[in-house]
Structure formats: structure tokens, C-alpha cells
């Protein structure tokens, strides 16, 4: 039986992504894990952090089928565009960052990897390089020719998926259409079944407006769009409750009886989840033909090379990808 092999992209080279990868080497992983980054960058950062890590160069198609020993990392060397200085962004390395993502995603599509885990990237510097980039989620959707993807964050037993992601608040209401809501709900429901092993997922759905519109007095999106869409999907057997006011939905009374929450926009659901488990949460992209998880934090440029970082979120992202791969065919 072929081993389940995973790819880990080290993210923005001037941030803490390389540090996180190196710190992982202290303990052996349960699966072969291939770090996609610059070998020279990891070597220099290990010296900076005073870490004795054996960086084992590997190349396709002869990737190892057994985990690296404790104290070592498998590295698929990817060339930098410019020398890296910790904490200093350089647009010349934007192409390098996207190349690591492309290698990981294409490896997943081809079956070389069972899943990919991503350290944080810096969207701004990639855009400054003249490359249109709004985030991992959208990039991977384009690369895999996926029409609709869904961002979901999880911490412990709380999962929060989003109908809209990186939009200005003034654009959110227009983006909440029956078509989008139906597509997102179907993806969330299907992936909870296929990638999380939940045969009958229970989903709580937030309203868009305060008090879920208060019977139309605070907005009609709930009446005109959200409730009719949910009712139609309930008719197909989906266990959907809502639309519920977001300010009361995130309480034990509701959460103890659900498998996921569907929020209408980014800052409606994620502040609650990050308050509950920042540093121990995972970002999951649903709807892709591949498994992708990520950390719940940014590049932390000021901490790069200092050693004062926590690997908790990356470890959760790794373990989540491993668990999903066991469920996903």
C-alpha cells in the first residue's frame, strides 16, 4: 500500500513559516512530509535559530514513502528570487511563494500527495509584484479549476464556514444570493460527509442582519433569500437550522447540537472562533478536489528568526489534514 505523503509549503520566506517548519523537526511525523521551500533559506534560518536540523533533499518522482526521522526534514528545494532578510518583504520572492503552492497543489491533483498544509503568505507583497492574488483559497480554486470553494476554520469541536470571504463589508449584502448560498451550503454539507465522516451533518446558519433581520424591520435578506434557500435544501434532507441571530447563535445552547456554523461574512463568524482557539485553530478549504489545511495566523514578520513562536496552529493543521485523508477516498 502506498504511503500517505503530504506537502507542507513554508509560506512567505521573510516570515515565520520557515521557522515553523524547522521547529516541527524535533519530533517525527506519522507520515512522510515534504517541505516545499528553499533549502538554502531553511539552512540559514536553522543557523539563526540555533537548531540542528538535518535537511534531506528530495525530488520527484522518487519521494520517500516513510517519515523523516526526528531531527530531520525532507525538503523539495525551490529556488528563491532574491536573498531573504528576516522580517523584510521582497516582491522578488513573490514568484517563489506561488511556485511552492503550485508544486504542492499539482502534486495533490496527481496523487503524489494526499494533502497539502500551508504556512502563511503575505498577500500584499505578491500584489505589489504585479501578480493578482487574493489568498490561498482563491489561488487553489483557480489552479484546480474549481468553480466554488468554501473557507472553513475549526478549533476543537467548533467549525465555522463562510458564505463570503474577502469582501468589503459594503459589498457583502449584494453577494448573498440564493445561488451562492445554495452552492456554499451544498459544498459544506458534502465535505462534512466525505472529508470529516459525518453522515448527517447538522448545520447552523447565521442571518445576515442584526437579530436575523427582526422580521424584516432590519433588512429583508433573511426573508427573501436565506430562509427560502434553506427551506428548499431541507426538502432534500439537509439538517439546517436558521437563519439565526449571530449574536446568540454562538452560545452553548446551540453549538452543542451542531457540526458546523455557516456565517454570512468573514468577520461575523471568525472573531468568535479565533477568540476560542487562536493559535490552536486550522483553516480548511472545502470544495477542492484535494485536501488543503493551513494555520490560522499571519506571517508575523517581527517574530521571524527570533524563536519566540508557537507551532500549535501548524500542528493542528497537520493533524487535521492527516485525519481528513483517512476519511476522504
CA dist., res. 115 & res. 195, Å (int): 12
CA dist., res. 284 & res. 263, Å (int): 15
pLDDT of the residue at 280: 82
pLDDT of the residue at 45: 97
C-alpha cell belonging to residue 1: 500500500
Strand partners, 150: 286
pLDDT of the residue at 329: 64
> Which CATH homologous superfamily contains domain 149-287?
Isopropylmalate Dehydrogenase (3.40.718.10)
Q: Which CATH number fits domain 1-146+288-329: 3.90.180.10, 3.40.718.10, 3.40.50.620, 3.30.750.24?
A: 3.40.718.10
DSSP secondary structure letters along 200-252: S-EEEEE-SSGGGGTTTTT-SHIIIIIHHHHHHHHTTT-EEEEEE-HHHHSSH
Helical axes 227-234 vs 178-194, angle rounded to 10°: 40
Strand pairing category for 158-162 and 150-155: antiparallel
pLDDT of the residue at 1: 41
| Intervals of the chain under pLDDT 50 | 1
pLDDT of the residue at 3: 72
pLDDT of the residue at 166: 83
pLDDT of the residue at 2: 59
Determine contact, residues 292/115, Cβ cutoff 8 Å.
yes
pLDDT tens, position by position, 82-106: 999 999 999 999 999 999 999 999 9
Which helix (H) or strand (E) segment is 72 a member of?
strand 72-77
What is the location of CATH 3.40.718.10 in the chain? 1-146+288-329, 149-287
Residue 152, φ and ψ in degrees, nearest 5: -135, 135
Amino acid at each position: 500500500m502506498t504511503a500517505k505523503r503530504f506537502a507542507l509549503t513554508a509560506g512567505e520566506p521573510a516570515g515565520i513559516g520557515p521557522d515553523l517548519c524547522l521547529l516541527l523537526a524535533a519530533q517525527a511525523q506519522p507520515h512522510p512530509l515534504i517541505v516545499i521551500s528553499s533549502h538554502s533559506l531553511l539552512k540559514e534560518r536553522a543557523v539563526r535559530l540555533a537548531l540542528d536540523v538535518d535537511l534531506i533533499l528530495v525530488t520527484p518522482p522518487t519521494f520517500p514513502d516513510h517519515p523523516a526521522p526526528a531531527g530531520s526534514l525532507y525538503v523539495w528545494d525551490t529556488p528563491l528570487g532574491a536573498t531573504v532578510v528576516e522580517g523584510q518583504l521582497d516582491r522578488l520572492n513573490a514568484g517563489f511563494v506561488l511556485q511552492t503552492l503550485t508544486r504542492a497543489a499539482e502534486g495533490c491533483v496527481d496523487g503524489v500527495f494526499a494533502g497539502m498544509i500551508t504556512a502563511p503568505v503575505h498577500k500584499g507583497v505578491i500584489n505589489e509584484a504585479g501578480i493578482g492574488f487574493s489568498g490561498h483559497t482563491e489561488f487553489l480554486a483557480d489552479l484546480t479549476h474549481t468553480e466554488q470553494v468554501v473557507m472553513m476554520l475549526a478549533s476543537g469541536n467548533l467549525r465555522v464556514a463562510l458564505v463570503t470571504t474577502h469582501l468589503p463589508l459594503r459589498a457583502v449584502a449584494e453577494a448573498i444570493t440564493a445561488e451562492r448560498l445554495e452552492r456554499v451550503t451544498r459544498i459544506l454539507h458534502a465535505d462534512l460527509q466525505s472529508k470529516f465522516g459525518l453522515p448527517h451533518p447538522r448545520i447552523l446558519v447565521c442571518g445576515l442582519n442584526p437579530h436575523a433581520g427582526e422580521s424584516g424591520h432590519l433588512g429583508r435578506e433573511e426573508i427573501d433569500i436565506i430562509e427560502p434557500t434553506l427551506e428548499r435544501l431541507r426538502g432534500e434532507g439537509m439538517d439546517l437550522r436558521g437563519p439565526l441571530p449571530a449574536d446568540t447563535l454562538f452560545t452553548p445552547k446551540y453549538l452543542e447540537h451542531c457540526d458546523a456554523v455557516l456565517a454570512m461574512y468573514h468577520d461575523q463568524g471568525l472573531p468568535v472562533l479565533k477568540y476560542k482557539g487562536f493559535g490552536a485553530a486550522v483553516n480548511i478549504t472545502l470544495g477542492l478536489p484535494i485536501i488543503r489545511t493551513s494555520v490560522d495566523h499571519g506571517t508575523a514578520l517581527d517574530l521571524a528568526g527570533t524563536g519566540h513562536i508557537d507551532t500549535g496552529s501548524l500542528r493542528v493543521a497537520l493533524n487535521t489534514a492527516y485525519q481528513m485523508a483517512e476519511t476522504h477516498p
